Structure 1
């Protein structure tokens, strides 16, 4: 999911995520982050970590659909 397949967020979603990162650091680490630092952390997550979560979602969906297809075969008439 590099470059052209990069996750795109709306301005509202990005701002909400940046606010959540800032709140996390303040509440959990007692560190105040600015918008730039939180934005850089978000970009790191999107570029380096999000692809793994995406791939896990694809795999979980595949497993789910595979199980449903097996169920479909059980209704065959002989």
Structure 2
């Protein structure tokens, strides 16, 4: 089991998409059990990559917004003698 938790509804939607993909693109039928194993496999093997990318994106956005706030604060400064 991975640290990634999916709601039952989300898991059902993802399983349906995997089954559709295998059927349409690979001309193979797979069951829900196999699709759930694929979800677990991808979550375990590449989930951390996407998680880390999300953190990097959030960090970059935060830095950008912090810089914007810095400029706004500078605009509020009063002239000194």
- SS of aligned partner of 1:24: helix
Q: Which TM-score applies when normalising by structure 2?
A: 0.84
State the partner residue of 1:64: 61
Q: State the Cα distance separating 1:54 from its structure 2 match.
A: 1.2
- SS of aligned partner of 1:25: helix
State the partner residue of 2:28: 31
Bigger CA radius of gyration: 2
RMSD, aligned α-carbons: 1.5
State the partner residue of 2:51: 54
Deviation beyond 3 Å, 4+ runs, structure 1: none
What is the distance in 2 between the residues matched to 1:74 and 1:10?
42
> Unaligned 5+ residue runs, structure 1?
none
